[in-house]
Amino acid sequence: MSPSAAAAGTITVGGDLTVNRLGFGAMRITNGDGGVWGEPPDPDGARALLRRVVGLDVNFIDTADSYGPDVSELLIAEALHPYPKGLVIATKGGYLRDGPGPWRPDGRPAHLREACEGSLRRLRLERIDIYQLHTPDPAVPIEASVGALGELRAEGKIRHVGVSNVDAGQLARARAVVSVVSVQNRYSLTERRGDDVLDVCHRDGLAFIPWYPLARGALAQEESPLARIAARRGVTPAQIALAWLLRRSPVMLPIPGTSSPDHLEENVAAAEIELADDELAALDEFRAS
């Protein structure tokens, strides 16, 4: 039987967007080995991968205008438009890039408006389901940045507002200005510095979207509880790490990304793994050294 993201259960984001709780992060469908810069080596393969994503009941895809830049959004539209019913596409704005090197924050309202308009065109949408501030800009108060997203929502160009790479204080400031439905922060079994933000999301019913959810290098430790549980079950450590995330909180919406069809199937199969209480306890104590 083919794996299905539906096995992870569902989450309703913003009160009206119900999606399966294992999504897909579309950063690596670009030239992932080239600094997320430019087209992938095999664009046809990337489009086929996206169609397979949907075929596996993954109905939440996360992207950003900075992936490529523009490339990820364009590939999504080329592969999937007209979009199947129930597919939710979330994208982000707030980073500028001049090449495969550093990413520069730009949270100015004028830039965010321009970025949103560009995403609408590339994705061939009249309204973006979830539009996220990609990162706070130290030069711009976060209230001004999310205020611009609130204006775009009022104009019907955004359904819901999300934020990314925020601490608990920044999240509170953003929510004082606009209704926030999701937070996307770096988080994984081996990196849990965002526990305080996750706790707020769990308490208030905001979707928590962990980026870099597999932290693959850290998962490779031999003789760890993770490795032992994976070996005993005959699965990979990455699959156990995803299963742990899904168990960590009902608001968790992991978005593992890949350019490999085999890894995609492996990731989605993790939705079917149910961890026992003793396994969960061992993993809760696990940290990468």
Q: Any idea which residues carry the catalytic annotation?
A: 67
Look-up of token digits 């950003």: 64
Measure CA 154 to chain center: 24
Q: DSSP for the chain?
A: ----GGGG-EEEETTTEEEES--EE-STTTTGGGTSBS--S-HHHHHHHHHHHHHTT--EEE--TTTBTTHHHHHHHHHHPSPPTT-EEEEEE-EEESSSS-EEE---HHHHHHHHHHHHHHHT-SSEEEEEE-S--TTS-HHHHHHHHHHHHHTTSEEEEEEES--HHHHHHHHTTS-EEEEEEE-BTTB-TTHHHHHHHHHHT-EEEEES-S-HHHHT-TTSHHHHHHHHHTS-HHHHHHHHHHHH-TTB------S-HHHHHHHHHGGG----HHHHHHHHT----
Residue 232: Cβ-neighbour burial (10 angstroms; 0-12, 13-18, 19+): exposed
